């Protein structure tokens, strides 16, 4: 379930004061787990007004309230767009109560945010991580904390469901904190000092904690963050993620694909008496679109589970530390390494994996770089062209595509940081590491379901509509084409006319031929069908690469003026750099909105064209004739 | 002495945080502020440090760790002035 943006003010998310509650807390304190436990499946995802920051809104039946899960923040003095959303949303509804999630292992840090939140609004407190704090010798006395703060305080374990039954009463009894210093008009550092004086007083009255003993997490970190061992373990984790998107997901996707084909065949048989255009529209248009969406669902579910396991276990924050130096080159958090690696398997879950990044701008920047990671679906195109044009050096040519992919990611990141993303600051590494924990499968299942459902409904509808439109373009003859019964040949359809129309744009890249432009149009829908589209346009079987290779060489020889190899290389480069597929674009649309998605597509097409032209112009001058 | 130079598993007190550091306020907010008692628990790759602040652990890069001046102190972790 998803909703579009609301009104211009942050208050659109929080409805009436008496019917909603804001969930506020530091990152990694179990806030989202608590949100999932309170709302179950009754939740939706929406963008905060005017931003790409996602907010989760759900119905908390036991309390009869709407809950808004605000992004994790350390402070209401914002440093990122996500934190601005927290401040603006709270400021817009000063009377709405907040349920502040306090981490028992980091009491000072949590109390600082509680003081900022509760100074002027009713608050109730949910204390998490009590077991971890206890195991580290920092047990928190909840009765004492309740007496000191003067607001409702409940100890909870959202993963096991403990304490949740007491929360409705706590929220109903929410009230503003007393004794918090007034910091209005003070500079941020001075204000922080005043608030910390109050925090220190609370912590001291609670019993100052004893020195932290070496914990189990510390011992695990001795290995996983070890300068020599940490890197190989991290690479192994990234390799496992990549394998999930390819080796593990492929058979499941194939199974779903087979089911879709079987359903399509049955539908065709069932519609035997119907006009051919009805069968075509329903089966080859709508059903194929639905099938494409269904095929992606297992892959997304697998990746979402893997990401949730990494996040829940506490390893994701360590991965950010290990990859920080590498990703800092393009000004990104170390966590950006995950979507980039996943992208080499499939771009769709890679865009989805940007959710692990801490700020909306970083998610957007990474989302713009992911399409330049060379996904597995592009490989058949490389194999076909490299085999046909560079038979002696096919492996080198394909390897070169992967090297170029990395160059595009790094170069694209550097250019974007200096243009559209100047505001993404090179932040020092400063990450709070959660304790290692055993992942909670029920919570993971809930969040995976919510995310897969969101993809199926939001991105899925875009895919189905676009694929149906493509079918219509292929089924309708172009003006002036013969009006024979049945579907026209691709060349004679409106689709073919469009391919003919755009082909001249590729003249500087040496492949201004409708066969190739039609393959690129089809490749926009899905790269894995581009080879089939080329074969179909020459009316040869796509399992006969030798025959197809001869056609391709003849076509490119003619279009490039005898520099077929350079033109083939330019085409491969274009396939690498332009929009990966409709599903990726739809996922970007879902996460970043229409404006950014269209901007991304325009950038990808421009970069693809420029690089392809450069490759052809240089290649043909170096004597790249086939 | 700076946090970057601290031996492992030794309690130290934060004396000063470079005020020119862009993340000065954020460091304060997550507990690395003057008077805090902290302890380096792990040296990671590229000079990264993991620091115990109370019961929680914070990872810092080498440059950030070099901006925090500390002194030996047997005071309990988490105590602040």
Name the residue ranges covered by the structural domains of chain B. 3-72
Determine contact, residues A43/A56, Cβ cutoff 8 Å. Answer: yes
Confidence (pLDDT) at A413: 92
Does the distance separating the beta carbons of B25 and A75 come in below 8 Å? yes
Give pLDDT, residue A179: 87
pLDDT, residue A542, reads 52
Q: What gap in Å lies between CA A463 and CA A590, rounded to an integer?
A: 11
Biggest alpha carbon–alpha carbon distance for chain B: 32
Decide if B54 and A107 are in contact by the 8 Å CB cutoff: yes
Q: Per the CB < 8 Å rule, is B77 touching A211?
A: yes
Tokens, residue A177: 């904190």
Euclidean distance between CA atoms A344 and A371, whole angstroms: 9
**Which residues, including other chains, have CB under 8 Å from residue B44's CB and lie 6 or more apart?**
A225, A226, A227, A230, A321, A322, B50, B59
3-class SS of residue B58: strand
Q: How far apart (Å, rounded) are the C-alpha atoms in residues A471 and A493?
A: 10
Indicate yes or no: CB of B59 within 8 angstroms of CB of A433: yes
- How far is the first Cα of chain B from the last one, in angstroms, to the nearest whole number? 20
A370 φ/ψ sector (left φ>0, alpha ψ -120 to 50, else beta)? alpha
pLDDT computed for residue A484 by the predictor = 59
Using a CB-CB cut-off of 8 Å, the residues of chain B touching A431 are 58-59
| Facing A192 at nearest CB: one of B29, B52, B80 | B29
Question: Which of A74, A211, A358 should we substitute to test contact with B (largest number of B Cβ atoms within 10 Å)?
Answer: A211
User: Could you tell me which residue, B75 or A557, shows the higher pLDDT?
Assistant: A557
Q: H or E stretch including A32? A: helix A31-39
In A238-373, the DSSP E strands lie at: none
User: For A490, which DSSP code?
Assistant: G
Give how far Cα A79 sits from Cα of A101, A117, A188, A341, B22, Å.
20, 16, 12, 28, 10
8 Å CB contact between B68 and A436: no
* SS3 (DSSP) at A583: helix
pTM attached to this predicted model? 0.76
Contacts of A497 (CB under 8 A, 6+ apart): A478, A479
Between chains, do B46 and A79 touch, taking CB under 8 Å as contact? no
A217 vs B11: CB contact, 8 Å cut-off? Answer: no
In this predicted structure, the answer to whether residue B76 has a pLDDT above a threshold of 70 is: no
Q: Does A605 touch chain B (CB under 8 A)?
A: no
Q: Is B54 on the interface with A (CB under 8 A)?
A: yes
Q: Are A194 and A118 in contact (CB under 8 A)?
A: no
The per-residue pLDDT for B79 is 44
Residue where the block lists tokens 């494409």? A292
> Are A429 and B79 within 8 A, CB to CB?
no
Pairing type for strands A98-103 and A123-128 reads: parallel
Q: Running DSSP on this structure, what letter comes out for residue A459?
A: I
Rounded distance, CA A180 to CA A192, Å? 12
Q: What is the pLDDT of residue A228?
A: 92
Candidates B42, B45, B54; nearest CB to A212 = B54
A317 Cβ under 8 Å from any chain B Cβ:
yes
Q: What is the pLDDT of residue A212?
A: 65
**pLDDT score recorded for residue A450:** 79
Two tokens, residue A310: 């990494």
| Gap from A350 CA to chain B (nearest CA, Å) | 26
Between β-strands B56-60 and B49-53, what pairing exists: parallel, antiparallel or unpaired?
antiparallel
Residue B50 at interface with chain A, using a CB cutoff of 8 Å: yes
Q: Residue A92: what pLDDT?
A: 85
Q: Are the beta carbons of A425 and B56 separated by less than 8 Å?
A: no
| Contact assignment for B78 to A222 by CB distance below 8 Å | no
Q: Is B64 on the interface with A (CB under 8 A)?
A: yes
> Residues of chain A whose pLDDT is less than 70?
1-18, 41-53, 208-212, 426, 481-487, 539-546, 624-626
CATH of segment(s) B3-72: 2.30.30.90
Interface test with B, best of A26, A128, A235, A430 (most B CBs within 10 A): A430
Return phi, psi of residue A16, to 5°: -80, 150
Pick among B45, B65, B67, B68 to test the A interface (most A CBs inside 10 A): B45
All residues of chain B having their beta carbon less than 8 Å from the beta carbon of residue A107 are 54
Q: Cβ separation of A429 and B60 shorter than 8 Å?
A: yes
Cβ proximity of A72 and A25 under 8 Å: yes
The CA–CA distances, whole Å, from A546 to A378, A389, A396, B9 equal 19, 11, 20, 66
């Amino acid at each position: 379930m998803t909703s579009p943006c609301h009104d211009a003010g942050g208050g659109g998310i929080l409805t009436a004061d008496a019917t909603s509650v804001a969930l506020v807390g530091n990152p990694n304190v179990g806030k989202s787990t608590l949100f999932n436990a309170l709302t179950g499946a009754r939740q939706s995802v929406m963008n905060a007004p005017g931003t790409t920051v996602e907010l989760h809104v759900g119905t908390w039946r036991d309390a009869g309230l709407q809950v808004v899960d605000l992004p994790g923040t350390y402070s209401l003095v914002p440093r990122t767009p996500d934190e601005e959303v927290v401040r603006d949303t709270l400021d817009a509804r000063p009377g709405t109560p907040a349920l502040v999630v306090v981490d028992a292992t980091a009491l000072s840090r949590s109390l600082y945010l509680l003081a900022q939140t509760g100074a002027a609004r009713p608050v109730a407190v949910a204390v998490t991580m009590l077991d971890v704090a206890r195991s580290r010798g920092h047990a928190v006395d909840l009765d004492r904390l309740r007496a000191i703060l003067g607001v409702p305080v409940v100890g909870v374990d959202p993963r096991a469901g403990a304490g949740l039954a007491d929360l409705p009463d706590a929220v109903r009894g929410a009230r503003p904190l007393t004794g918090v210093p007034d910091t209005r008009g003070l500079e941020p550092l001075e204000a922080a000092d005043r608030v910390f004086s109050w925090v220190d007083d609370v912590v001291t009255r609670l019993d100052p904690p004893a020195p932290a003993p070496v914990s189990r997490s510390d011992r695990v970190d001795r290995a996983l963050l070890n300068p020599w061992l940490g890197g190989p373990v991290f690479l192994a984790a990234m390799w496992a993620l990549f394998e999930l998107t390819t080796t593990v997901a492929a058979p499941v996707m194939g199974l779903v694909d087979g089911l879709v084909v079987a359903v399509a065949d049955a539908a065709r048989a069932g519609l035997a008496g119907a006009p051919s255009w009805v069968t075509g529209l329903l089966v080859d248009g709508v059903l194929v679109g639905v099938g494409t969406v269904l095929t992606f669902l297992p892959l997304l579910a697998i990746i979402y589970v893997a990401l949730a396991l990494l996040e829940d276990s506490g390893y994701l924050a360590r991965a950010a530390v290990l990859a920080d130096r590498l990703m800092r080159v393009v000004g990104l958090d170390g966590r950006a390494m995950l979507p980039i690696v996943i992208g080499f398997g499939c771009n769709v879950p890679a865009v989805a994996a940007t959710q692990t990044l801490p700020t909306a701008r970083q998610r957007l920047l990474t989302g713009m770089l992911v399409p330049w990671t060379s996904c597995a679906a592009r490989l058949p195109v490389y194999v076909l062209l490299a085999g046909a044009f560079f038979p002696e050096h096919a492996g080198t040519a394909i390897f070169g595509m992967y090297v170029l992919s990395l160059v595009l990611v790094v170069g694209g990141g550097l250019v974007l940081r200096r243009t559209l993303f100047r505001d993404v600051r090179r932040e020092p590494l400063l990450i709070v590491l959660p304790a290692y924990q055993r992942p909670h499968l029920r919570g993971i299942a809930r969040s995976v379901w919510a995310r897969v459902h969101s993809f199926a409904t939001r991105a899925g509808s875009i895919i189905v509509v676009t694929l149906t439109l493509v079918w219509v373009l292929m089924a309708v003859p172009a003006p002036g084409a013969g009006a024979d019964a049945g579907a026209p040949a691709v060349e004679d359809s409106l689709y073919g006319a469009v391919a003919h129309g755009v082909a001249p744009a590729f003249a500087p890249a040496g492949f201004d031929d409708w066969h190739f432009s039609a393959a690129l149009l089809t490749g926009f829908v899905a790269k894995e069908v581009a080879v089939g589209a080329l074969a179909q346009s020459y009316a040869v079987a796509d399992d006969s690469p030798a025959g197809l290779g001869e056609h391709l060489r003849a076509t490119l020889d003619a279009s490039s003026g005898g520099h077929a190899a350079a033109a083939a290389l330019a085409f491969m480069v274009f396939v690498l750099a332009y929009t990966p597929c409709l599903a990726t674009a739809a996922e970007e649309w879902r996460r970043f909105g229409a404006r950014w998605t269209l901007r991304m597509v325009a950038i990808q097409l421009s970069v693809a064209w420029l690089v392809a032209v450069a490759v052809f112009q240089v290649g043909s001058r170096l004597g790249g004739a086939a | 002495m700076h946090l970057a130079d601290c031996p492992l598993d030794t309690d130290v007190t934060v004396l000063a945080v470079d005020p020119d550091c862009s993340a000065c306020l954020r460091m304060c907010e997550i507990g690395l502020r003057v008077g805090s008692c902290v302890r380096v628990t792990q040296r990671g790759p590229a000079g990264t440090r993991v620091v115990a602040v109370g019961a929680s652990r914070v990872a810092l890069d080498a440059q950030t760790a070099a901006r925090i001046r500390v002194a030996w102190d047997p005071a309990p972790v988490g105590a602040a002035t």
